[in-house]
Amino acid sequence: MDQILSASWWILALRGVIAILFGVLALIWPGLTLLGLIALFAAYALLGGAVSVIGALRNRKRHEDWGLLLMLGLAALGAGVIAAVHPALTAIVLVLLIGANALVSGMLDIVAAIRLRKAIRHEWMLALNGAASVIFGVLAFLFPGAGALALIWLISFYAVLTGALLLAAAFRIRGMAARRPPVERRVTPDRRSSSAQPRPV
């Protein structure tokens, strides 16, 4: 898992940028309606899911842990498709959908951070992002009937916070990958050629 994230740190960076854009737009959009919020979330989930799926497929032949990244992308794509196909969602259903997406992505990010703990020093950023997503998901399921204003503020804060953590983790991983010394290839002697040499008499 450390290899796939080190080679594809841009996946975390793009996820972070998309999350921050979603949070900021949801907060500053004047007179944002429920339909507009659903459209924003659909775009956020679809873009973030596509980034993860593309990154996973590009690394499927080089790294064994690409399946975890694929699961993360498919979960986000599923949530985005549901929001796009059913734009008449009620506020409660939308909150539950966003909460479910946050729970799944948060748990997968925590799993990734646990696998990274021996490879990098700043895996706690990814773990903190996962924990924030899980907490938001739990709150969404505990209080799905929050008012519209509270809903927008909560979603915006969650998106900006997790986006910033993902960006920080991405650049930390990029910096450590750049400082990592190149792996030297060991050349094993050819036994056949050595055995073919004449022995001294």
Q: Tell whether the torsion through CA atoms of 149, 153, 159 and 163 is positive or negative.
A: positive
Confidence at 184, pLDDT banded by 50, 70, 90: very low
Give, in order, the Cα–Cα distances in Å from 97 to each of 33, 42, 164.
Answer: 17, 11, 22
Task: Name the CA dihedral angle for 90, 83, 47, 69, rounded to a multiple of 10 degrees.
Answer: 100
Asked whether residue 19 carries a pLDDT value surpassing 90, the answer given is: yes
pLDDT, mean of residues 11-20: 90
pTM for this prediction: 0.76
Domains of the chain and any CATH numbers:
2-179 (1.25.40)
CB atoms < 10 A from the CB of 175, how many? Answer: 13
pLDDT, mean of residues 49-68: 79
Confidence at 120, pLDDT banded by 50, 70, 90: low
CB 85 within 8 A of CB 130: no
- Counting residues of the chain whose pLDDT is more than 70, the rounded percentage is 75
